[in-house]
Structure 1
Amino acid sequence: MWDGMDELDPAWADEYMSAVIEPYESGVLTPKTVQLLCIAVDASCTHLFAPGVRRHIRAALDMGVTPEEIFEVLKLCTTVGIHSMNVGLPILREEAGRTHS
């Protein structure tokens, strides 16, 4: 996935990879929590990165996370998308109520 990144800008690639790996290695969050957060980020409607969702679900299952726990995370991700309705519906009602010429 990252092929070529280090060829174009090795310094930036090193810094980026160091920052990305931090949550995995810091010990602040449990490995289970890190995987569940990665699932949430990759499955969120603003990201929708299926390869990442698959990779992190597999990793979570391999470390003993239950399918039910993962499903709860996926259900929480759906709440991000509901804001489209919260923003769009009032505008639709307002505009649909106007007289169009």
Structure 2
Amino acid sequence: MKTHGLEALKAADPEFFAACVELVNAPRHSTLDAKTRELVALAVNSAVTHLHEPAVRRHIRAALDEGATREEILETFQLVAVLGIHAASTGFPLLCDLPPSPKTDTDPDREAIKAEFIQRRGYWDASWEDVLQRAPAFFAAYLNFSAIPWARNVLEPKVKELIYIAIDASATHMFVDGLKVHIQNATNHGATPDEIVTVLEIASTIGIQTLELGVPLLQEELDRRSG
């Protein structure tokens, strides 16, 4: 009989499995509520840089068990979906030695877009400036894409920022510039150091998924060789 995921690890190495359980459970001793912890874990695992389906399903179920609504989980996905913009916010500044993009009469008003971003998102960071100047229409579209969850207010602003912290801190992304911005934003929205530490702890546990994926495959190959 085949075992899957972490059950395979439990069968193969009970001591190491127990150490994994202890690591995963450590953030439960935080002041951050259980539902938010599950939404943060869901965010890390559903980020485009990771997309670990077994954990996505696991944390959807756990979030629902902790009282999360369909709308809260959907908004978590919408927040995490902004991660792709870092191709632009990281890449556009590297074009600084190249000629500027030509401005046309059909370009949207850059200053108006910037003012709308500040009004709808509640902050501005210098990393956006190059994107705005070189691709104002694209940046305007991103603004609308990213601001919709902020207008609906299903999750409180602090939780939104904690989700951004989680996906920027993840080992599969490690976007330090964004992490700094969202730590400051989360603090401005009332997040405590303990809550931010908890988010970083949760994000740190995805390394266990090496075992969740690898150990069952190892056992399958060993079984195949033994006939």
TM-score by shorter chain over 0.5: yes
Q: Which stretches in structure 2 are left out of the alignment for 5+ residues? A: 1-126
Q: Distance in 1 between matches of 2:200 and 2:129?
A: 29
Structure 2 SS opposite 1:3: helix
Question: Residues 9 and 65 from structure 1, CA distance in 2 versus in 1: closer, same or farther, beyond 3 angstroms?
Answer: closer
**Higher RCO structure, 1 or 2 (CA under 8 Å, sep 6+):** 2
Show the counterpart of 1:64.
Answer: 190
Map Cα deviations across residues 38-76 of structure 1 (whole Å, 9 max, x no partner).
Answer: 111111112111111111111212222111111111111
Counterpart residue number, 1:82: 208
Question: Which ranges in structure 1 are unaligned for 5 or more consecutive residues?
Answer: none
Aligned-residue sequence identity (percent) comes to: 39
For 2:129, what is the secondary structure of its paired residue? Answer: coil
- Pair 1:19 & 2:142 matched: no
Structure exhibiting the larger radius of gyration computed from Cα positions: 2
Q: What SS does the aligned partner of 1:2 have? A: helix
Amino acid at match of 1:40: A
Q: Indicate how the Cα distance of structure 1 residues 59 and 2 shifts in structure 2: closer, same or farther if over 3 A, else same.
A: closer
**Structure 1: which amino acid aligns with 2:201?**
K
* Cα distance in 2 between the residues matched to 1:54 and 1:43: 10
Q: Does 1:38 align with 2:164?
A: yes
1:55 to 169, 181, 188: 181
1-structure distance, mates of 2:202, 2:180:
17
Partner-residue secondary structure (3-state), 2:187: helix
Distance in 2, matches of 1:87 and 1:17, equals: 37
Task: Find the aligned partners of 2:130 and 2:177 in 1 and give their Cα distance.
Answer: 19
